[in-house]
Chains A and B, each alone.
Chain A
Amino acid sequence: MLQYLARRLLGLVPTLALVALLVFLFVHLLPGDPARLAAGPDATPETVALVRQDLGLDKPLPQQFLRFSTGILHGDFGRSLRTKRPVSTEIADRFMPTFWLTVAAMGWSVSIGMLIGVLSAVWRNRWPDRVGMTLAVSGISFPAFALGMVLMQIFAVQLNWLPTVGADTWRHYILPSLTLGAAVAAIMARFTRSSFVGILQEDYVRTARAKGLPESIVVVKHGLRNALIPVVTMMGLQFGFLLGGSIVVEVVFNWPGVGRLLVDAVDMRDYPVIQGLVLLFSLEFVLINLIVDVLYAVINPTIRYR
């Protein structure tokens, strides 16, 4: 197992190196001159030249890439073109709010989603199923920005129960995490249901029932565990997406997270920040994938890694 983990972690290196190269080329292909953008509307060409030199953009592309990649090896991701602060600080400042929001949203949505999925599968084609799936389809179809605005209007503006924007106390987390989690809960519910429906028709479930086990044991012990594998895969994927910072939710609720940072960075052609963020997102995905693989082994002892 440990050996497997070590090998997987080593495998990360070429993946990330490839991502770094692609991302570097990609951002430099975006139209628009960052020096001109940074210098502002009433700058003279001399000023633009100064700014370009200041940002290190006057050097040839290969040289810039060399500087970028040697920087990474030393843990230096460069400085933001916009704020002049190190990219690592910029991202670190915003990572935790996004992380906790993701955890909050995943927490409620996975538990509620799985519960609805299981209930729908057990009472398949009866009213709990209908209600559950109606909720799930609504959750998928309702756009996050609209949901966020409606929630804000009702609970913050009209009822004054919850704060509108910011990320200071737990009360600030309620509305954004509801908005962010709605779609995930819906996806989880549908996924759990379909996986569970399949499992409930398996031979071993029939055997368990024939043994005279109570239905609750059959569902929880024999059904749930086996239905979990595809659900965990989906969960990992969703977690990765949310960690990238939901741009919509972070903008609507003014959340100080990485999603908003990315929007700002792309707007200003802030190359180092874009590169840093994309690298971070790829790293997150790869790590989550690894964790999901390990979870498989925990859920199903017949899966072994060597």
Chain B
Amino acid sequence: MKSLLRSMPLAALVLGALASVPAFAAKDVVFAVASTFTTTDPYDANDTLSQAMAKSFYEGLYGFDKDMKMIPVLAESYEASKDGLVYTIKLKKGIKFHDGTDFKADAVKANLDRVTNPDNKLKRFGLYNNNIAKTEVVDDYTARITLKTPFSPFINQLAHPSTVMISPTALKQYGNKDIAFHPVGTGPFKFVEWKQTDYLKVAKNENYWQKGLPKVDTILWKPVIDSNARAAVMQTGEAHFTYPLPYEQAEALKAKPELQVIAAPSIILRYLSMNTQQKPFDNPKVRQAIAYAINKEALSKVAFNGYATPAEGVAPQGVEYAVKIGQWPYDVAKAKQLMAEAGYPNGFETELWSAYNHTTAQKVTQFLQQQLQQIGIRTKITLLEAGQRVEKVESWQDPATAPVRLYYVGWSTSTGEADWALRPLLYGESWPPRLFNTAYYKNPKVDEDIKGAQLTTNSTEKAKLYKDAQETIWKDAPWAPLVVEKLLSAHNKKLSGVYVIPDASFNFTDIDLK
């Protein structure tokens, strides 16, 4: 009763015209999430969660459905010029921002101009400024974007959850920084309030352009940091949906009849990168031996409680142009033989670092340590805390002295396309501190494929180049591919239509509460 009373003034405010609907019919949904939001401005956010939450009130020109297939949202269609430099985008008509402004091509220009202007100092600046030369308004419902160099995955970038359309009127009114406290978009929900310490609340957009949506009145985004507390609020009914759910809690929640636990496929790949510039990892035989020595099935069971599957390629299935190569076999005899051929019959000592310091990473590294012991590789484990990781790995200036050797890390391909799965991690120019090629891997053939695929707009040609790149990388083994994670979430059976999509963002436009 208490919570009902508290929600009444808000319900009255939100329902407005529907004031005759009794307050007890209000459908108020609560999402319990794992960390506090950094901002509501997707152009200034670097965490998936803040961007997922921002999808309450913001929409992009393109987006992803629950299976991570790209779909047009505010755009009607696009056309790329033959040389791959000019993208002409037709927009949907009759869409209004929450503040009443019509959604037109000037909004596209305002938003892209904002992020590509270095004076605005937005965290997503690099992603856009690298390729967008200029944005023009052709007519009210047509925008033209010109690139600096051909970049074939450009439409995927427009589908990335950070490329959203903010009302140009609101941008002018609140300015570059304050817009984060007054978000105005076209999305299914309007922003109500953000109490940084406690929650962020959004309410139904009565004039949403997709008729019949949204079906619920409000969503309360509540950060609950501790995973036990998150499991507890699901059991008491204080929250309707939670992600991520720790593996250890899955069984307990499955036993509850009113709850549903879902393990969704992801595009989050976990791998062990090896510094190919340093001895003994410069020898491909040593790297292959390490890949052979790890039992990936057992790893999924031991460290991930079964909520992971062995990796079957360089990029996980679900990423466009990912090639399924098959699991790297577990074969200790073969691994020993390779070690002997490489001149290390008795193994060697080395460092094993983990990019994370949570329990799962601890289990993974201990398991890897034990597996590598089988072929005589003795490892010293260090779980890096975020600051150490940045200092010792991500911003190490001189590749020749990089201290990283074996490095357990993961990657989520947030654009859903092979370019972002390969280029940041395996391209010859992506060595830290530029990007995240922690294997310091460089193969001219792979570099050519990646470069070539960026330039072509022909998708058969692209598929061929990416296939060649992935197969070459697989043979070179700069990584021991480990597992692809599953995303564990729980929701109350009364709530339908919420999905964790493969890049760990959420899809909740269709949610309904019984």
Chain A contacts to B: CB under 8 angstroms: 30-33, 36-48, 50-51, 53-54, 82-85, 90, 93-94, 97, 149, 152-153, 156-157, 160, 163-169, 251-254, 256, 260, 264, 267-269
Contact = CB atoms under 8 A, between A and B. Distances in A.
17 contacts: A31-B388, A31-B391, A32-B388, A32-B389, A40-B46, A41-B46, A42-B414, A45-B434, A47-B125, A50-B121, A84-B39, A152-B232, A157-B236, A160-B236, A163-B236, A165-B232, A165-B233
Nearest to A168: B6
B246 to A, nearest CB: 13
B46 A83 contact: no
B88 interface: no
Most buried by A among B223, B388, B395, B424: B395
B46 A39 contact: yes
Given A48-B433, A85-B196, 14 more contacts: A31-B391, A36-B394, A37-B387, A40-B47, A42-B435, A44-B126, A47-B124, A83-B196, A152-B229, A252-B228, A252-B229, A253-B229, A254-B229, A264-B36
Contact of A33 (B38, B46, B121, B395): B395
Nearest to A43: B126
Interface in B28-67: 36, 38-39, 45-47
Contact of A44 (B36, B130, B225, B391): B130
A46 B125 contact: yes
B127 A53 contact: no
Interface string B402-424: 00000000000010000010001
A97 B129 CA distance: 43
Contact of B123 (A39, A45, A93, A269): A39
Contacts of A33: 387, 390-391, 395
A15 B196 CA distance: 32
B2 interface: yes
A153 B39 CA distance: 33
Given A51-B123, A165-B238, A38 B46 contact: yes
Contacts of B229: 152, 164-165, 252-254
A152 B224 CA distance: 14
B410 to A, nearest CB: 10
Contacts of A53: 121
A45 B435 CA distance: 8
B197 interface: yes
B198 interface: yes
A268 B37 CA distance: 13
A51 B46 CA distance: 12
B226 interface: yes
Contact of B233 (A51, A84, A164, A252): A164
A44 B434 contact: yes
Interface string B213-226: 00000000001111
A277 B390 CA distance: 24
B2 A169 contact: yes
Given A43-B46, A260-B225, A267 B126 contact: no
A88 to B, nearest CB: 13
B6 to A, nearest CB: 8
B180 interface: yes
Interface in B201-259: 223-226, 228-229, 232-233, 235-236, 238
B238 A54 contact: no
Contacts of A82: 38
B180 A43 contact: no
Interface string B66-96: 0000000000000000000000000000000
Given A41-B46, A44-B130, A83-B39, A30 B387 contact: yes
Nearest to A153: B232
Interface residue range, chain B? 35 or more
Interface string B115-129: 000100111111101
Nearest 9 A-B pairs (CB), nearest first?
A40-B46, A32-B387, A256-B197, A44-B126, A47-B126, A54-B121, A36-B390, A31-B391, A32-B390
B177 interface: yes
Contacts of B180: 84
A1 B431 CA distance: 67
Contacts of A43: 46, 123, 126
A152 B180 CA distance: 35
A167 B392 CA distance: 40
Contacts of B385: 32
B304 interface: no
Contacts of A40: 45-47, 123
B25 interface: no
Contacts of B228: 149, 152, 252
A83 B2 CA distance: 32
A15 to B, nearest CB: 29
A198 to B, nearest CB: 42
A94 B196 CA distance: 9
B436 interface: yes
B18 interface: no
A39 B395 CA distance: 12
Interface string B157-169: 0000000000000
A44 B224 CA distance: 31
B17 interface: no
Given A41-B436, A44-B126, A251-B225, A32 B197 contact: no
Contacts of A48: 395, 433
A42 B238 contact: no
B400 interface: no
A249 to B, nearest CB: 10
Contacts of A156: 232, 236
Interface string B1-26: 01000100000000000000000000
B197 A84 contact: no
Contacts of B414: 42
A82 B39 CA distance: 8
A266 to B, nearest CB: 9
A50 B127 CA distance: 13
Contacts of A166: 198
Contacts of A41: 46, 436
A306 B435 CA distance: 65
A90 B235 CA distance: 31
Nearest to A32: B387
B391 A32 contact: yes
Nearest to A40: B46
A263 to B, nearest CB: 8
A38 B390 contact: no
Most buried by B among A40, A251, A260: A40
Most buried by A among B6, B124, B229: B229
A30 B388 CA distance: 9
A164 B236 contact: yes
Contact of A51 (B121, B235, B236, B433): B121
Contacts of A251: 225-226
